Amino acid sequence: MDRLTGLAAFVRTADLGSFVAAGRVLGLSPSAVGKAVTKLENQLGVRLVQRSTRSLRLTEEGRAFHERCRRILDDLDDAHESLLRTRESPMGRIRVSSPIVAYHLLLPVLPDFMARYPDVELDLDFSDRIVDLVEEGVDVAIRSGQLPDSRLMVRALRPFQLLLCASPAYLERHGTPTCPRDLKDHCGIGFRYPNSGKIQDWPLRLPEGEAEVCVRHVLTCNNMEALHGAVTRGIGIGCMPDFLAQASLESGALVPLLLDHLDAPGQFNLIWPSSRHLSPKVRVFVDFVAERLFSSQCRIGMAP
């Protein structure tokens, strides 16, 4: 910063011909300007300005240095103005990482975001892989579950629910379970978490003293879209987020099961690398998605 102050003092002095005039522009006293120029000369080991009682004159080295410094300061001014314009109107590219299933939530609200911020470019990566935001240069991500990384800032989104569903055709063949223990006689479709390899537990609230229900999985997959497709085709019963099942429930392609026996809150979070200054483009994206992501979501009745 001292060197930048010295450069500014030197350039203004060279432009205006005196320490007094340079000081008025910079908001410094003439002596402070003179000291800044002298310190710069000492750092460079070159005299830039010849001083006399009546005037100041640039040395040959000073004239060459002034031309270079003028361009540097002009570039800094341009960069500053560009940043101010960016703060007024967010612009630039945002890299967003999201679970595959979350595109059902994200895509419907993006047209409004892009209309509101036409200078922001979105680069979307839909993947169930856990991304290291800091190492991979991701600006913001949608994630569920535990978030232990202290390098991340978090904003919780409104919760969703997990549902057990089956198709009418499957229920016609196998019957409709009326309590959790009935599930032992049914075909289950399991979801395998891509990162841990663990099979998702069905979120059943069991009566006190009743043993955990063992469900026979006839099919297991690591993609929630595939699980939804298998359930709608009548292969078995599956557990999925309410926003994924919503359209199929409304059309009658899926039937919710055991609503009074589910304890299944889910939570998505917006996360981004912690920083003293959040960039304007990321700030407006975070605010917009947090406001809009679940605003039109239909809820399936759940027992308290």
As given in the structure block, the two tokens for residue 130 are 């856990």
Please tell me the least confidently modeled range out of 92-101, 131-140, 244-253. 131-140
| Domains in the chain with CATH codes | 2-85 (1.10.10.10), 92-155+270-292 (3.40.190.10), 160-266 (3.40.190.10)
Q: Highest mean pLDDT range out of 18-27, 40-49, 246-255?
A: 246-255
Whole-angstrom Cα distance, residue 107 to residue 126? 11
**Cβ(173)–Cβ(304) below 8 Å:** no
pLDDT of amino acid 87 = 63
* 173 C-beta neighbours (distance < 10 Å), count: 10
Whether residue 19 has pLDDT greater than 60: yes
Residue 148 DSSP label? -
Q: Crossing angle, helix 224-232 and helix 242-251, to 10 degrees?
A: 20
Tens-digit pLDDT profile for residues 270-295: 888 876 467 888 889 998 998 887 54
Q: Give residue 170's pLDDT band: very low, low, confident or very high (50, 70, 90).
A: very high
**Cβ(161)–Cβ(301) below 8 Å:** no
Tens-digit pLDDT profile for residues 145-167: 666 555 678 888 878 899 999 99
Q: Give residue 82's pLDDT band: very low, low, confident or very high (50, 70, 90).
A: low
Within 8 A by CB and 6+ apart from 123, the residues are 93, 94, 95, 96
- Rounded to two decimals, what is the model's pTM? 0.61
